[in-house]
Amino acid sequence: MKFFNGRIAKRSILLFSCVLLFAASICFAKDYDQLFTEANDAMAQGDLPAAISILKKVEFEKGDDSGAFVRSRMQIARLQFALKDMNAASAAAKEVLAVYPDNSEALNFMASVQQEQKPRYKVFIEDCLRFLPQLLKGAVMTITLVVCIILISPVGGLLIALGRISTFKPVSGLCWFFIWLFRGTPLLLQLFFIYYGLPSLGITFKPFTAAILGLGLNYSAYLGEIIRGGIQSIEHGQMEAAKAIGMTYWQAMRRVIIPQTYKRLMPPIGNEFIALIKDTALVSTIAMVELMRSADQMFNAYFNVTALILAALIYLLFTTIFTFIFEKIEIRAGIYENR
């Protein structure tokens, strides 16, 4: 039975193809499908010039509404484009425009050929001008975040540092735990937890608040350890001398110990803040539109690497400015050592 059915099926397919061939030969003067198949084979083998010469055999015929001509010429245009022969590519597209002046595919193609024929730097500048407004908006947000954290985290860090060196065990233990927690888990995870995790506990933050909270806690933990190191690096005699003239612990800290840490703290804190500029990119994952997110949006919309290069340049500009500022502050903070 099976054998019989198979034969029937084979025969019916054969018969059906014959009918189709006949119908096609009535409709078209020539059978272009064969040519397209050959051309595809040639392309599959990587022989683009061969594919082009095959496709050239397709000719324009009045009243042909199958689109074979347009299809073949546009294919040639794309292949020539790929072969970097812009003149041949535009010639193929022009052939289409000669008979169909409104063909949008050909018009778009001509535009991109023109774009391609421009000098590279012009293209780059145009891309820059196209992407910059969006990227600068993102950069403003990045800087806003950085400035907020630079204002918040030293205060948090100082409190944590003082807590860590406190002789009151519950306070020093709590600060130890805080540092352990926020230094020991990824910042990305912390941001996710605050923005996506806490709502399930009934606590919801706006993206900006969540970003400030996440970055602020994380950087306070890091600065806490740095500041503690700075305080403990000040010679013990300084605290004794301050106490000997009658200062309380807190007066000694405020007037004598902490001011002496500034110069020592500048290099590591500068380091942290430069890391911060780059870490703000992580908040793009919690619906914040800052520089990284803007660059990503531009890159995805235009599939144009210029957006990423520009973003990198803006980040570099920021980090360079910060490095410069921190060097200046460091020199000022240590002015008493050099006079």
Partner 1 sequence: MKTANQPLLSLKGITKQFGSLTAVNGVDLDVCPGEIVVIIGPSGSGKSTLLRSINFLEEIEEGTILFEGQEIGYVTSKHGRRHLDAPHKICALRSEIGMVFQHFNLFPHMTVLGNVMEGPLTVQKKSPQEAREIAIDMLAKVGLSDKRDVYPATLSGGQKQRVAIARALAMRPKLMLFDEPTSALDPELIGEVFDTIRDLGKEGMTMIIVTHQMGFAKEMADRVIFMEKGSFVAQGTPEDFFANQMEHDRIKSFLNRIL
Which spans of this chain sit near partner 1 (rule: CB under 8 A)? Answer: 235, 237-238, 240-249, 251, 255-256, 259-260, 336-339
Complete DSSP assignment for 131-152? HHHHHHHHHHHHHHHHHHHHHH
Q: Which is nearer to partner 1, 22 or 249 (CB)?
A: 249
Q: How far is the CB of 240 from partner 1 (least distance, A)?
A: 6
Report the residue number, 16 or 249, with the smaller CB distance to partner 1: 249
Query: Could you tell me which residues come within 8 angstroms of residue 85 by beta carbon, excluding any fewer than 6 positions away?
Result: none
Pick 126 or 235: Cβ nearer partner 1:
235
Q: Are 55 and 38 in contact (CB under 8 A)?
A: no
CB 51 within 8 A of CB 39: yes
Q: How far is the CB of 257 from partner 1 (least distance, A)?
A: 10
Closest CA to 295 of 128, 138, 121, 122: 138
Comparing CB distances to partner 1, the nearer of 62 and 236 is 236
In the complex, what is the shortest distance from the CB of residue 209 to partner 1, in angstroms, rounded to a whole number?
Answer: 38
Is residue 93 a contact partner of residue 113, using CB atoms and an 8 Å limit?
yes
Those residues whose C-beta lies under 8 Å from the C-beta of residue 304, and which sit 6 or more positions away, are 127, 131, 298
Region for 170 from its dihedrals, namely left if φ exceeds 0, alpha if ψ lies in -120 to 50, beta otherwise = alpha
Q: By C-beta, is 209 or 238 nearer to partner 1?
A: 238
Minimum distance from CB of 319 to partner 1 (Å)? Answer: 29
For residue 242, the minimal CB distance to partner 1 (Å) is: 8
